[in-house]
Amino acid sequence: MRYDFMILDVFTDRPFGGNQLGVLTDARGLTAQGMQAVAREFNFAETTFVLPPDDPAHARRVRIFTPAVELPFAGHPTVGTACALALAGLSPTGEIVLEEGVGPVPVTIAKAGEAYSARLRLDRGPDTFAVPPAGDMAAILSLGVAEIVDVFAASVGVHFTYVQLRSREAVDASRLDLDAWRRLLSSSPAAQIYLFAGELKDGGEIYARMFGPGFGIAEDPATGAAAAALVGHAASRVGSLDIAIHQGVRMGRPSLIEASAVAEGGEVRSIEVGGATTLIAQGSIDVPEDYLER
């Protein structure tokens, strides 16, 4: 059976930057096995599969797959899929709700000229997890422990261990030691690593990378779910804030993620993450019958 798809670059306003996303705008009839096979074939960090919503008040249901696993939520697939629906004439601009594994996710789509952007909202703070020792993270990242400022673990649906480093140069110098990762972190709930430099304060600029070996992602150019948990974690400590996150620079796919959180008395009320999306290509893919519902 033939399925239409779109390829978009998310968290960038220019082609060939940001994070690539494949979107099947009508994935009805595909099995989960078929979705995973298509995601492996595209081999982007994530591919999304759009389905009719369970609640007719919502725009669509969205399933998100990396080349290796299905995710309950992810930022650049949420932002990019919302823009894809608007580009395809399947959704209006303004606020829509996408059903994902974590539940309903409100997304606001905007259009300026021919350019589209979107901003997702989560009405809760991040969950936290046990933190690995700084020495373990230094070994995993092939760094000296003196380069590490802080280590914490947080999630808004996808779990990350965060490593704050002293400088952008240390972020760029980091190299994932897979043997150390397998030995020291792979069995942790927060096995994916988000490393960054910069101040977590209102108006702060963050420089980041993300290694996701458990998801089949060597390095991610833009990680919206990690940005959401990061800004939520910061808000629980310092109060409401807006930050700009630069990621994918070392990979040659620069991205810009805008993230904000509202907090009162240390309790996070809401988190927003957004950015621009650029349409790269459209086409169709033939999926063998073995991957179709019977």
DSSP calls for 126-140: -EE-----HHHHHHH
What average pLDDT score do residues 257-280 get? 97
Kindly list the domain boundaries of the chain, sorted by start residue.
Answer: 2-122+277-291, 127-272
pLDDT range class, residue 17, cuts 50, 70, 90: very high
pLDDT range class, residue 246, cuts 50, 70, 90: very high
Q: What is the mean pLDDT of the chain?
A: 97
Is the pTM for the entire model greater than 0.75?
yes
Domain pair 2-122+277-291 / 127-272, same fold: yes
Which architecture, in CATH terms, is 127-272? Roll (3.10)
Give residue 257's pLDDT: 98
Give residue 191's pLDDT: 97
- Assign domain 2-122+277-291 one CATH number from 3.40.50.1000, 3.10.310.10, 1.10.490.20, 2.60.120.10: 3.10.310.10
Give residue 96's pLDDT: 98
Instruction: Show which residues are catalytic.
Output: 46
Give residue 234's pLDDT: 97
What average pLDDT score do residues 103-125 get? 96
Give residue 39's pLDDT: 98
What average pLDDT score do residues 12-28 get? 97
